[in-house]
């Protein structure tokens, strides 16, 4: 598949690089260069912002950093133009990574705050460039910088440079989308916290995507500096670049590597189609109207819509997997001594703004058992699950999993030790198909399966949970029962050593609860170790080997389910103390 794609790229590259030799007027090369230039900017922007949802309005800053790097090196240091291009990319990439290293550490800087911050960075950079010797006000002129004769004319040289960079950018965007990095970025797009808990190293992935995105924009800036030959702060660091790339990506479809390229070509061609002097304003208005209509009627973008339709067609053709062929989860791992301690919490405490959610909790989970974690609302059950899965960090205490302390580990590292969890309210990745939702933890869990294998694993777990027919649906198309099972399939696909189930039965009907009990018994039958937070006492009694009862963040009882549920403290915790 990859080899065919590479051959396709090479063939397209060869065919398109022949354009300058067709004897076309130079204008066509310049026009095509502009199309390619915007393709690079839009596709590179999409690598971070489209894939991960971190909308950057700072693409102009990184593009500008590249422009000024080339302009400065070529005019002030006499560096040959082509040699300035790697430097332009590097400066922009380093700038982006440095910014990301700070910004991505702060969870509150997501969404619109990230967009505004990157926009502000553009203006800060413009101010620095304008008020230092980099520019100082008059701008930098590259008219005297020699342009290497790559093509038969200057226009063809720009075209060939643009073509090479556009092909490289498209290839990089494609490879990222089809890699673990891409899968992780799309998960970040939908729910970054869940992605991290499922094993995606979100910080590192965002940083990598930002660096690549900025670097490519920087190289495009370097070429553009030579193309316009006069670089000024006002023209370079304008809002136009980020606005255009956002528009192009949305128009083409930001969830596919090729979408922004389609958008860039369409927008550039449209803008060019209406340059006749007589009706300039009407032409621009027409362009705006066309874009509004396309965005309204094709919300996933031109290319995105087409890809979605193709994918759905492919679903029906996908081979079915027999539900009677359940995979063996790592949780089962027969052979390892049952009954030995798998997870141990000691002195675990957590407070939220003065409210003590957990206080000095000690807990032990033995290999192969189903441990029920019960208690009234607000007793600290979900907090305990969140601490163990790394969603929160404990204020004090230790969590030992197979002898390894999890308290200091980031959530994605905890996932890789073999812990998986479900959420009380299902939190699937809304824009990933059911299949992709389940394949992701297989890729990022303990066994870190390759992409293809992860897909196969996911299909087996979907068959196991009865969701095979929904593989290519979006989670929004599932009912609550199915979404709960999707949570379960997702947790199982990571082949966990320990499965943390947070209120799997809440909101289900009686019949659905029966289904779920059967499913968990099937998992149990393979020897899985499960911690089971639940309010449905029938399920607790039917499924658990032991239970631990929490009340006001403390363990008040533990042991055999039937015996523990009769203890007066437990009864009081659930029903209140009787008044004489």
Q: Which is nearer to another protein, 25 or 476 (CB)?
A: 25
* Shortest distance, position 300 Cβ to another protein, whole Å: 28
Distance, CA of 42 to CA of 61 (rounded, Å): 14
Among 3, 138, 339, 354, interactor with another protein by CB under 8 A: 138
Contact call for residue 224 and another protein (CB under 8 A): yes
Which residue bears the tokens 């007027």? 25
Contact call for residue 137 and another protein (CB under 8 A): yes
Among 13, 86, 152, 283, interactor with another protein by CB under 8 A: 283
Contact 354, 413 (CB under 8 A): no
Contact 327, 457 (CB under 8 A): yes
User: Residue 184 is encoded by which pair of tokens?
Assistant: 């992780």
Q: Which stretch binds another protein (CB under 8 A): 46-54, 172-180, 197-205, 279-287?
A: 279-287
User: Residue 46 is encoded by which pair of tokens?
Assistant: 């999409």
Contact call for residue 278 and another protein (CB under 8 A): yes
Q: Which is nearer to another protein, 159 or 401 (CB)?
A: 159
Among 13, 86, 154, 507, interactor with another protein by CB under 8 A: 154
Q: Which is nearer to another protein, 284 or 346 (CB)?
A: 284
Among 10, 11, 12, 141, interactor with another protein by CB under 8 A: 141
Q: Which is nearer to another protein, 19 or 315 (CB)?
A: 19
- Residue 368: partners with Cβ closer than 8 Å, 6 or more residues away: 338, 339, 527, 528, 529
Contact 184, 58 (CB under 8 A): no
Q: Which stretch binds another protein (CB under 8 A): 50-58, 223-231, 437-445, 481-489?
A: 223-231
Q: Which residues pair with 371 in a beta bridge?
A: 531, 546
Contact call for residue 139 and another protein (CB under 8 A): yes
Q: Which is nearer to another protein, 10 or 240 (CB)?
A: 240
The string over 343-374, giving b where at least 16 C-beta atoms fall within 10 Å of a residue's C-beta and e elsewhere, is: bbbbebbbeeeeeebbbebebbbbbbbbbbbb
Among 12, 112, 131, 569, interactor with another protein by CB under 8 A: 131
Q: Which stretch binds another protein (CB under 8 A): 2-10, 141-149, 169-177, 324-332?
A: 141-149
Among 11, 105, 106, 275, interactor with another protein by CB under 8 A: 275
Contact call for residue 274 and another protein (CB under 8 A): yes
Chain CA centroid to CA 16, Å: 33
Q: Which is nearer to another protein, 78 or 138 (CB)?
A: 138
- Residue 294: partners with Cβ closer than 8 Å, 6 or more residues away: 251, 302
- Residue 445: partners with Cβ closer than 8 Å, 6 or more residues away: 198, 199, 415, 416, 418, 420, 493, 494, 495, 496
User: Residue 91 is encoded by which pair of tokens?
Assistant: 């400066």
Q: Edge to edge, what strands does the sheet with 419-421 contain? A: 419-421, 498-502, 530-533, 370-374, 546-551, 554-559
Residue 31 DSSP SS3: helix
Distance, CA of 260 to CA of 254 (rounded, Å): 6
Contact 269, 302 (CB under 8 A): no
Count of Cβ atoms closer than 10 Å to residue 238 Cβ? 14
Q: Which is nearer to another protein, 232 or 529 (CB)?
A: 232
> Could you give the residue ranges of the DSSP H alpha helices within 494-553?
510-525, 537-543
* Shortest distance, position 73 Cβ to another protein, whole Å: 19
Q: How many amino acids of this chain bind another protein (CB under 8 A)?
A: 41
Q: What is the footprint of another protein within residues 2-31 (CB under 8 A)?
A: 25-28, 30-31
Among 102, 230, 425, 452, interactor with another protein by CB under 8 A: 230
* Shortest distance, position 119 Cβ to another protein, whole Å: 14
Among 80, 124, 235, 577, interactor with another protein by CB under 8 A: 235
Binding residues vs another protein (CB under 8 A): 25-28, 30-31, 33-34, 37, 126-127, 130-131, 137-139, 141, 143-144, 154-155, 224, 227-230, 232-235, 240, 271, 274-278, 280-281, 283-284
């Amino acid at each position: 598949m990859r080899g065919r794609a590479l051959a396709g790229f090479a063939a397209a590259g060869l065919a398109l690089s022949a354009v300058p030799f067709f004897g076309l007027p130079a204008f066509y090369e310049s026009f095509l260069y502009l199309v390619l230039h915007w393709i690079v900017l839009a596709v590179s922007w999409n690598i971070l912002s489209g894939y991960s949802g971190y909308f950057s309005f700072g693409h102009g800053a990184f593009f500008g950093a590249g422009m000024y790097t080339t302009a400065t090196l070529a005019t002030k240091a006499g560096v040959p133009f082509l040699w300035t291009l790697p430097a332009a990319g590097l400066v922009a990439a380093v700038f982006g990574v440095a910014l990301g290293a700070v910004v991505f550490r702060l969870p509150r800087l997501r969404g619109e705050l990230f967009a505004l911050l990157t926009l502000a960075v553009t203006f800060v950079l413009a101010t620095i460039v304008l008020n230092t010797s980099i520019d100082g006000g008059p701008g930098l002129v590259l008219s005297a910088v020699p342009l290497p004769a790559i093509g038969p004319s200057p226009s063809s040289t720009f075209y060939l440079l643009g073509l090479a960079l556009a092909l490289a950018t498209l290839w990089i965007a494609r490879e990222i989308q089809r890699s673990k990095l891409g899968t992780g970025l799309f998960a970040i797009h939908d729910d970054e916290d869940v992605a991290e808990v499922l094993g995606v190293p979100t910080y590192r992935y965002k940083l990598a995507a930002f660096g690549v995105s900025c670097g490519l924009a920087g190289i495009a800036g370097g070429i553009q500096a030579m193309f316009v030959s006069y670089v000024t702060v006002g023209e370079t660091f304008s809002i136009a670049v980020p606005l255009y790339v956002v528009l192009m990506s949305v128009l083409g479809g930001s969830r596919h590597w090729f979408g922004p390229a389609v958008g860039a070509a369409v927008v550039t061609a449209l803008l060019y189609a209406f340059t006749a002097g007589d009706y300039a304003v009407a032409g621009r208005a027409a362009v705006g109207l066309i874009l509004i209509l396309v965005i309204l009627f094709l919300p996933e973008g031109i290319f995105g819509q087409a890809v979605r339709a193709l994918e759905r067609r492919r679903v029906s053709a996908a081979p079915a997997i027999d539900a009677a062929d359940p995979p063996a989860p790592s949780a089962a791992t027969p052979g390892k001594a049952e009954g030995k301690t798998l997870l141990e919490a000691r002195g675990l405490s957590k407070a939220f703004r003065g409210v003590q959610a957990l206080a000095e909790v000690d807990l032990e989970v033995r290999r192969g058992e189903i441990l029920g974690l019960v208690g009234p609302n607000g007793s600290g059950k979900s907090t305990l699950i969140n601490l163990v899965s790394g969603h929160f960090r404990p204020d004090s205490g230790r969590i030992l999993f197979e002898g390894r302390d999890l308290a200091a580990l980031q959530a994605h590292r905890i996932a890789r030790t073999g812990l998986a969890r479900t959420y009380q309210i299902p939190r699937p990745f809304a824009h990933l198909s059911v299949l992709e939702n389940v394949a992701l933890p297989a890729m990022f869990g303990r066994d870190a399966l390759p992409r293809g294998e992860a897909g196969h694993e996911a299909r087996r777990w979907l068959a196991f949970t009865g969701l095979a027919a929904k593989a290519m649906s979006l989670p929004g198309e599932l009912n609550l029962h199915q979404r709960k099972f999707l949570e379960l399939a997702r947790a199982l696909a990571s082949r966990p050593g320990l499965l943390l189930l947070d209120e799997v039965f809440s909101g289900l009907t009686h019949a659905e609860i029966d289904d779920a009990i059967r499913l968990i018994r099937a998992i149990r039958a393979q020897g899985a170790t499960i911690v089971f937070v639940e309010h449905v006492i029938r399920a607790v009694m039917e499924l658990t080997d032991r239970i631990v009862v929490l009340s006001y963040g403390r363990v008040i009882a533990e042991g055999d389910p039937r015996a523990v549920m009769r203890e007066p403290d437990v009864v009081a915790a659930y029903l209140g103390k009787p008044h004489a």
